[in-house]
Amino acid sequence: MARPSVRVFHKLEGLFSIYKPPGVHWKLVRDTIETNLLKGINAAPPPAPRQRVQFLAESTSVVAEGSNELTLSAASVPALAHHPLVSGPDFQHIGVGVGHRLDVFSSGVLVLGVGQSNKALTDLYRSHVTRDYTLEGELGMATDNFSHTGRLIERTTYDHITRDKLERVLAMMQGSNQKALLTYSKVDMSTQGAYELAVKGELRPDGKSPPIMTGLRLLHFQPPHFTLEVQCLNETQRYLCRILHEVGLELRSTAVCKGVRRTRDGPFTIQHALTHQHWTSPDVIQAIRQYRSSRKASKAKHTQPGKDTGTASQRQEMAEEAAVTGDSHRLHSVLTSKAFGS
Amino acid sequence: MALTCIQHCQRCTSLLRSRSVGITTLQYSTDAQHWPAALWNSFIVPVLPSLLQRSPNPSQTRQRWNLGVRSYCESHAKVQPSQTKHRNTDELPGTDMVSYQNPVSHQLIDGGMLLKEWQTAFDLDDAPGHSALEEISHEEAVRMDIPAALPPVSISLKDYVNESETLGKLVQLGVQLWKLEQRPNVGSMLLRLDFQTDVTPRLVFLKQLGVEDSRLGYLISHNPFILTESLENLQARVAYLRSKKFSAESVASMVSRAPYLLNFSVKRMDNRLGFYQQQLGLSAQKTRDVVARLPRLLCGSLETVKENLKICKLEMGFRENELQHIVTVIPKVLTANKRKLTQIFDYIHNTMNIPHDLIVKFPQVLNAKYLRIKERHLFLQYLDKAQYDPAKPNYICLDKLVSLPDEAFCTEVASATLKDFELFQKTIVAQPRMTSFSERHFTHNSTQTFFRQNNMASRAPATTGRLLVSFRKWYYNAAGFNKIGLMRDDTIHEDSDVKEALRRLPEKVYNDRMFRLKRALDLSMKQAVLPKEQRTQYEEDVHYLEPYLKEVIRERKEVEEWSKK
């Protein structure tokens, strides 16, 4: 017996990702989406107007005849108290939650959740999910806030920098990050299982950790411009700009960050992120459905072959799936399961 | 208690009758006369409840209830001494059935200010007219219909809308009561209004003015105070606008699009019209057109308009006639947000490099959304189609850039698919911020010109005659340091500048230098030289330290210059 607006709202309860354009605060984006979703919800046709019954005494001519009977007639009178113009639209506020935030300078995938799915959002982000970024840097400059919009502090030459030098520096940084990952994952490296996880790249920190880059790669190098691809967790965008600055320092030069673009946030990729023309309720409903179906498909994939093979392989698959989605809860259960301990 | 109930019932029945049958109190009073006389004494005569309601007896209510702001007072629900009632019956005029809200209006508590107006005392010594234990006839008992008690104080008009004629009619017009009740004191004001005497004349006035029926709801939702503005004032203002040669249709459209227009005094409107005509330097007809297109100009503050005009003239550097043209095409520029306006102009002029005359030709770009312009421009730039100069081929009209919807823009202007555009949108990163000053009035701040370094490999001197080269080669070999495997920069005298430059060398280069020096020292100790194959050749000699040294020297000079100041 739910009203059409409530039905639309239930369809909207889910997680979806949008592409945040650069130069705009995430809160503005969230407010815009909330307004658009409210428009969609309240656009549903209002229910039929309610009527109430009033009993009226009969007119005077009947009474004047002297009969002692009192006749009442029923009249159906509209009850205006529930008219949409009086009570207002059904929904005047919905809870739209934001996942890992993006600052004003960056752009990229931003995950949002509506209503009940905000709980799922917090679970997702507590589970050490990794994120992919594309960082565009420029050599030869240093600014106060590590990005090209800041105040210029230093200018340096960069002609001595070659691709292999840059890659060597990146390899060194990745090495130190791997060490950090091992320490923070609190896994005993002398066990076989831990080794296997490390080899596959499925280790995750246990509990709180500083920002750790699990992957770092040079995509494109044309001095002074270069592009890095980073997979990291627990990061902030400013930290990433600082990474670029440190890369510049390691190369005996300086570098600034020209752009930070998040291409993946956990299981949400940039492919399905909605651009600002599509921040409307029908598109959002479709995006939610798409995400749900993809999750179901991946779950079905990993529960299927787990019947005849041993528990180890099943755990492996689980860990694999968890690694792809960055779900460390499952990883943790894998790591602490009986086979390791006993 | 019973008295209260009975009075409630009387009120209710009167209401019902008024709504369903539409009879006047006069008729109702005739009803009363039909009642058997026997009942007269035992029962409170159902005297014109309207009058009852009209009789102000708020003192008891005041004593009982808290005086709060925004309280919607129920019409009195207190015991009325029968004497006052009988007094009222004498004054029986043939008044129309007033709406239920009239009593409320008289009794409205608004911070207790109305308390002083009525001093009717509640005489405690008066004997009550009847007892609650008296018997009443069956018909009267059945007729007693106790309505739901209206709350004396409420935060919402929902509780009163069923009983109030004004509110019901406003809902029929399409007024958004849920928004109006959030505004302070508006709800009480609406309840106080009488539909026949207050609201109807103004609605008729607006209709005569030419405002459409469908717009009346919008008008009242945004400006409920038009219902309390005196009719003489409204008529005077309309007469003023007509005297300024605004046509009747344009006045009607102005009033429906700017709901607050008729609440402003003639003097204020005159002041503003004069300001626009004078500041913009437009003719009377053009000013009229501008104001008719954006009637909000006559309502809002002039300060924002003044600031916007200043920005257009000083910061953006538009000339008088250009500004006039822009304002006549897009009057919204006068009330636009300053920050957004400057941001758009900055992007269009400095990043897209569009000159002033082209902007003046298409002023709608100033009205567009910044993100839209930016994305479309970057897309065209990516496709190498960003050419906005009409003199050159493949010119893209600014109007099309800005006003076409996405699909049309992609197919017509960019010759790409919508999908491509969306994919491109997902690759945009932040752009560097440029200055917003126009070239015309300020010296254009330099964009970041990058300090170009000479490629180390190209050590091309000014002239490269063959003679010169062979001379250099001879000199290089004659110098002799290549025999012990050194390069030119290994032999440079180490002063503080050179030391700093050496510190900045990359590791590999530094290590190579160290190796060469060690080898040379070893050779000099042994009094030996390298075989010819291993000696450094003129072509191989790389001046690796030169750029670092130059940088260090430049920095030192800069520091010295600064310290002089």
What are B65's two structure tokens? 């209830």
Among chain A residues, the shortest Cα distance to B509 is held by A160
Measure CB to CB from residue A54 to each of B16, B139, B450 and give the nearest one: B16
> For B212-281, where are the E strands, in sequence order?
none
Contacts of residue B162 in chain A, CB cutoff 8 Å? 77, 79-81
The pLDDT assigned to B342 comes to 94
Chain A to chain B Cβ contacts (< 8 Å): 121
Residues of A with catalytic function: 103
Q: Which residue has the higher pLDDT, A302 or B110?
A: A302
A106–B431 CB contact, under 8 Å: no
A261 and A205 together in one domain: yes
The pLDDT assigned to A253 comes to 93
Q: Is residue B148 very low, low, confident or very high in pLDDT (cuts 50, 70, 90)?
A: low
Q: Which residue has the higher pLDDT, B396 or B29?
A: B396
pLDDT at B101 over 70: no
> For B314-472, where are the E strands, in sequence order?
none
Buried b (16+ CB within 10 A) or exposed e, A314-327: bbbbbbebbbebbb
Q: Which CATH number goes with the domain that contains A238?
A: 3.30.2350.10
Cα–chain center distance at B91: 55
Write out pLDDT tens, residues B27-67: 333 443 444 444 444 333 333 333 334 434 444 444 443 33
Q: Which residue has the higher pLDDT, B147 or B229?
A: B229
The pLDDT assigned to A308 comes to 42
Q: CB of A261 within 8 A of CB of A241?
A: no
What are A93's two structure tokens? 């506020």
Q: What is the average pLDDT across B401-419?
A: 91
Q: Which residue has the higher pLDDT, A342 or A51?
A: A51
Query: What is residue B447's three-state secondary structure?
Result: coil
d(CA A32, CA A39): 11
A108 and A137 together in one domain: no
What are B141's two structure tokens? 């008992």
A23–B430 CB contact, under 8 Å: yes
What are A211's two structure tokens? 């920002």
Is A272's Cβ below 8 Å from some Cβ in B? no
Q: Which of B253, B161, B242 is nearest to B206 (CA)?
A: B253
Q: What is the average pLDDT across B8-30?
A: 43
Candidate ranges A318-322, B68-72, B126-130, B552-556; pick with highest mean pLDDT: B552-556
Among chain B residues, the shortest Cα distance to A273 is held by B426
pLDDT at B450 over 70: no
- Confirm whether A3 is domain-assigned: yes
Measure CB to CB from residue B143 to each of A57, A140, A261 and give the nearest one: A57
Write out pLDDT tens, residues A110-146: 999 999 999 999 988 888 889 999 999 999 999 999 9
Contacts of residue A159 in chain B, CB cutoff 8 Å? 453, 455-456, 547
Question: Facing residues of A269 across strands?
Answer: A264
Is A277's Cβ below 8 Å from some Cβ in B? yes
The pLDDT assigned to A335 comes to 38
Q: Which residue has the higher pLDDT, B301 or B81?
A: B301
Structural domain boundaries in chain B: 2-125, 450-564
Q: What is the DSSP secondary structure assignment for residue B167, as one 8-state letter? A: H
Question: A25-29, A326-330, B316-320: which has the minimum mean pLDDT?
Answer: A326-330
Q: CB of A148 within 8 A of CB of A256?
A: yes
A223 and A277 together in one domain: no
Q: CB of B508 within 8 A of CB of B561?
A: no
pLDDT at A293 over 50: yes
Contacts of residue B13 in chain A, CB cutoff 8 Å? 57
* Percentage with pLDDT > 90 across chain B: 49
Q: Which residue has the higher pLDDT, A2 or B507?
A: B507
pTM attached to this predicted model: 0.67
Q: Is residue B550 very low, low, confident or very high in pLDDT (cuts 50, 70, 90)?
A: very high
Cα–chain center distance at B162: 35
pLDDT at B498 over 60: yes
Q: Is residue B434 very low, low, confident or very high in pLDDT (cuts 50, 70, 90)?
A: low
Contacts of residue B179 in chain A, CB cutoff 8 Å? 88
A88 to chain B, minimum CA–CA distance in Å? Answer: 5
- Say how many domains are in chain A: 2
Query: B382 — phi, psi (to 5°)?
Result: -60, -35
Q: Which of A209, A212, A247, A258 is nearest to A231 (CA)?
A: A212
Q: CB of B109 within 8 A of CB of B67?
A: yes
Cβ-based neighbour number of residue A253 at 10 Å: 25
- Confirm whether A71 is domain-assigned: no
- Confirm whether A199 is domain-assigned: yes
The pLDDT assigned to A73 comes to 82
A37 and A105 together in one domain: yes
The pLDDT assigned to A200 comes to 84
Contacts of residue B175 in chain A, CB cutoff 8 Å? 85
CA atoms within 13 A on the CB side of A161: 27
Measure CB to CB from residue B551 to each of A152, A157, A260 and give the nearest one: A157
* Percentage with pLDDT > 70 across chain B: 71
The pLDDT assigned to B54 comes to 41
Q: Which of B425, B316, B224 is nearest to A18 (CA)?
A: B425
Three state DSSP letters for chain A = CCCHHHHHHHHHCCEEEEEECCCCCHHHHHHHHHHHHHHHHHCCCCCCCCEEEEEEECCHHHHHCCCCCCCEEEEEEECHHHCHHHHCCCCCCCCEEECCCCCCCCEEEEEEEECCHHHHHHHHHHCCCCEEEEEEEEECEEECCCECCCCEEEECCCCCCCHHHHHHHHHHHHHHHHHHHHHHHCCCCCCHHHHHHHHHCCCCCCCCCCCEEEEEEEEEEECCEEEEEEEEECCCHHHHHHHHHHHHHHCCCCEEEEEEEEEEECCEEHHHCECHHHCCHHHHHHHHHHHHHHHHHHHHHHHHHHCCCCHHHHHHHHHHHHHHHCCHHHHHHHHCCHHHHC
d(CA B11, CA B457): 103
Q: What single string gives the DSSP state of each residue in B313-349?
A: IIIS---HHHHHHHHHH-GGGGGS-HHHHHHHHHIII
Among chain B residues, the shortest Cα distance to A155 is held by B451
Question: A72-86, B90-104, B481-495: which has the minimum mean pLDDT?
Answer: B90-104
Q: CB of A59 within 8 A of CB of B23?
A: no
A174 and A299 together in one domain: no
- The residue among A196, A230, A265 that closes a domain is A265
pLDDT at B276 over 70: yes
Residues 6 or more apart in contact with residue A205 via CB below 8 angstroms: A128, A181, A184, A185, A186, A212, A233, A234, A328
pLDDT at A57 over 70: no
pLDDT at A231 over 60: yes
A185 and A169 together in one domain: yes
- Confirm whether A337 is domain-assigned: no
A117 and A236 together in one domain: no
Mean pLDDT of all residues in chain A? 83
CA distances from A54 to A277, B15, B16 (A): 51, 12, 8
Among chain A residues, the shortest Cα distance to B547 is held by A157
Q: Is residue B461 very low, low, confident or very high in pLDDT (cuts 50, 70, 90)?
A: very low
Q: A157 is in which domain, residue-wise?
A: 130-265
The pLDDT assigned to A84 comes to 87
Residues 6 or more apart in contact with residue B73 via CB below 8 angstroms: B58, B61, B65, B104, B107, B108, B109, B152, B153
Q: Is residue A69 very low, low, confident or very high in pLDDT (cuts 50, 70, 90)?
A: low
The pLDDT assigned to A65 comes to 52
The pLDDT assigned to A203 comes to 83
Q: What is the average pLDDT across B515-525?
A: 93
CA distances from A307 to A302, A313, A320, A323, B236 (A): 11, 10, 17, 21, 88
Complex ipTM value: 0.83
pLDDT at A287 over 90: yes
Q: Which residue has the higher pLDDT, A238 or B25?
A: A238
Q: What is the average pLDDT across A181-205?
A: 86
pLDDT at B17 over 80: no
The pLDDT assigned to A226 comes to 94
Cα-Cα-Cα-Cα torsion A146, A152, A157, A162, nearest 10 degrees, comes to 20
Mean pLDDT of all residues in chain B? 77
B-facing residues of A in 282-341 (CB < 8 A) are: none
The pLDDT assigned to A301 comes to 87
Question: B81-95, B201-215, B300-314, B502-516: which has the minimum mean pLDDT?
Answer: B81-95
Arch. (CATH architecture) of B450-564: Orthogonal Bundle (1.10)
Measured CA angle at B221 (ends B294, A40), to 5 deg: 90
Measure CB to CB from residue B425 to each of A19, A82, A157 and give the nearest one: A19
The pLDDT assigned to A75 comes to 85
* Percentage with pLDDT > 90 across chain A: 54
The pLDDT assigned to B258 comes to 93
d(CA B399, CA B388): 11
Q: Which of A259, A225, A219 is nearest to B429 (CA)?
A: A259
pLDDT at B436 over 70: no
Cβ-based neighbour number of residue B226 at 10 Å: 22
Contacts of residue A152 in chain B, CB cutoff 8 Å? 448
pLDDT at B90 over 50: no
Give chain A's radius of gyration (CA, Å).
30
